[in-house]
Each structure stands twice: as C-alpha cells, then as structure tokens.
Amino acid sequence: MEQVTIGNCDERVQLLPAICDEYGGVVVELKEHMESDVFLTLLKTSMSQWTLQGKKGVWIKLPIHLANLVETTVKEGFWYHHAEPDYLMLVNWIPKTTSTLPLNASHRVGVGAIVLNDKQEIRSTEVAYDHHMETYQTVIFHSTPVLMLVVQEKSGILRGTGIWKIPTGIVEVVWLLEVVHYFANIPFSKTLIEFNLQGEDISAGVIREVVEETGIDTEFVEVLAFRQSHKAFFGKSDLFFVCMMRPLSFDIQIQELEIEAAQWMPLEEVAAQPFAQKTDSLMNRIMKLCKAKVEKDYSGFTPHPVTSYFSESPSYIYFNNTDFN
C-alpha cells in the first residue's frame, strides 16, 4: 500500500495501490484479498488524496475473487465500465465536469471464409486417326465446376432453414487459463484464476473458424470486403470481414456441436439459393465477389506488418498490394 503525509502533519495514511495513467487519472489493480470495511476506508482516503492532486479518472480493476468489493465501490459513486472472464472494471470521474473517459469497446469483429476449390481438370482425351487425311488428335477438356466450402448451422437464426452458407465466426480475444481452482471445493474468496490475454489477428481467426467447423485446413489469402452493422450483439456494432482462403486439405470433418452439415458445393448452386438472389443481400454481394475473383477481375487487401510509436505489439495494415505496386 502507498503511504502519504496529510497536510503539514506527521501523520501518514495508507492509500490503495495505484499507478498514474497518461491522461491525468489513476488505475487501481487489487490482487490480495481484502475485507469490505478495510477497502472502504482506503477508498475514501484515496479519493480524497486524488482529488487534492487534481486527478481525473479513477479506474478500479477488481479480480473475480474480490467480487465482494463491488457493492462498496458502486456505493462510492463508481460505475461499471467493462467485464472480462476474470475481472470487473469500475470507473469514477472526479472533476465536476463532463467525463471524457473512453467508452467500452464499441465493436466486435466477425469473419467469413470463402474457400474455393477451382482446379480445372482434364477428364479424358479422344484420339482419332484417318488414313486418307492427316493424323490428328483431339483433346477434350471436362473442367470440373468451381466448388465452394459451405455449411448448414445447427443453431442460430439459420437453423433448420436448409440454407448453405460460408463458414463464419468471431475473432476472439484468446484467454489462456493458467491456474484454476473449482468453486465447488474452495471458498470463492480464495479462488485463484489467472488469465493470459492475447489478441487474435483476422487471418488467424478465419483459419481457426474454418478448421473448427469443417476440419479443412486453409491458408489466408486476402480480405475481399467488410461490412459494418449496428446494434448487433448486445447493442454493439459489428465489423464482418469477408476473407479469401486457399484450401490445403479437402476431406470434411464437421464440428458436430455447431454444424449440421458441410460440403463442397458448385458455386452456381450456392448462388442459386433464394436467399442469395436478393440483390442487396450480403450473400448476393459475396457471390459476386467470388465470381469476380474466379475471373481474376478483383484484388483484395493483404496484411502487411507495421510498427507503432506507441506500442511494440505486432500490428498490420491491410491494403490492395496489386494496385499499390
């Protein structure tokens, strides 16, 4: 705990452990167990000191094993900002002005995979010979149709409709569970859960979704397009990236928990479904993108690593490299 001297007195008081952020506020991250009455005393003293220091936003990160402190924190004027599997973040704005604290994340990111098997194969040849004419040979090409990897969902709005669609899913924040004690046998206040937070790139997310749903291994090629919608998931906005993938395997093994069926389906048959015929529908646009891509008339956006002045974490910028060069 931090200790400070109050005024001109020699009395020193304890404050909650906190670090200053870059915007004139403080961040409190508690780890050790604490009783509510002890926490309340420290919180009141800390808020008084931070007010004197001219601090603005106060962030309190309560891990799940300190859920007993939530009610006390809220009664002191804090409100929920966001929650994750292992913690709850509460905030307070000290100045008597409009809060400039950023809102919680506004979007979630979805991906859809266009996986085409477009190998044009020679099925047979026909050879003819005429003694009165010059020898000739005719090669007959029987090209296989372009096949698209499609699925039928076992749950959700399309369940039971018979509609074939592309594999889709959500780009995830990956939580790696390192330590867990089950609540059944250990008091809640002493339960320790530690998570290692990792982000997932669009390219990695769509590869994962395809193999999870269909068992097909793929290679990310490019982002063909993206759609933005609002009030989608619990009122959040949604960014949906349509990705071109290259199949590395072809034997389907469906995810029985979520997928009713999966197959390689001729592109024309997918496009002929009634729900794909509506001219302003997402699937209609996706099918047109597929056609343009097969005909080599369209180039999407590929990821290129970039560095940031603010962070050493890897990041990518997506752009049309074909036209750029």
pLDDT at 11: 53
Tell me the C-alpha to C-alpha distance, in Å, between residue 128 and each of 61, 133, 135, 215, 226: 81, 11, 8, 45, 52
pLDDT of residue 3: 53
Over residues 285-290, mean pLDDT = 91
Matching CATH topology for 2-93 and 107-118+145-324?
A: no
The pair phi, psi for residue 59, each rounded to 5°, is -110, 125
**Taking 60 as the threshold, does the pLDDT of residue 230 lie above it?**
yes
Q: Is the Cα torsion angle 156, 177, 87, 184 positive or negative in sign? A: positive
Sequence ranges of the domains in the chain:
2-93, 107-118+145-324
Q: What is the distance between the alpha carbons of residues 148 and 264, in angstroms, rounded to a whole number?
A: 5
**pLDDT in the model for residue 142:** 52
Confidence of residue 234 (pLDDT cuts 50, 70, 90): confident
Query: What's the confidence (pLDDT) of residue 133?
Result: 54
- pLDDT per position as a tens digit, 38-47: 999 999 999 9
Residue 181 has pLDDT above 50, yes or no: no
| In this structure, CATH architecture of domain 107-118+145-324 | Alpha-Beta Complex (3.90)
pLDDT in tens, 127-157: 444 555 555 445 454 567 899 999 999 988 8
What are the backbone dihedrals phi and psi of residue 199, each rounded to the nearest 5 degrees, phi first? -85, 165
The span from the CA of 306 to the CA of 188, in Å, is: 44
Count of beta carbons in the 10 Å neighbourhood of residue 124: 8
Q: Report the distance separating Cα 173 and Cα 225, nearest Å.
A: 22
194 is catalytic: no
Q: How many CB atoms lie within 10 A of CB 152?
A: 18
Q: How many helices (H) and strands (E) does the chain have?
A: 7, 19
CATH code, 2-93:
3.40.630.30
pLDDT for residue 83 is more than 80:
yes
Q: Give the pLDDT mean for 79-99.
A: 94
Contact criterion met (CB below 8 Å) for 55 and 68:
no
Q: What is the pLDDT of residue 202?
A: 92
**Stretch 89-110: mean pLDDT:** 91
Of the CA atoms within 13 Å of residue 320, those in its CB half-sphere come to 8
The SS3 assignment for 323 reads helix
Tell me which of 29, 172, 200, 212 is the catalytic residue: 212
- How would residue 13 be classed by pLDDT, with cut points 50, 70 and 90? confident
pTM, 2 dp: 0.74
How confident is residue 233, by pLDDT bands cut at 50, 70 and 90? confident
What average pLDDT does the segment 79-92 reach? 94
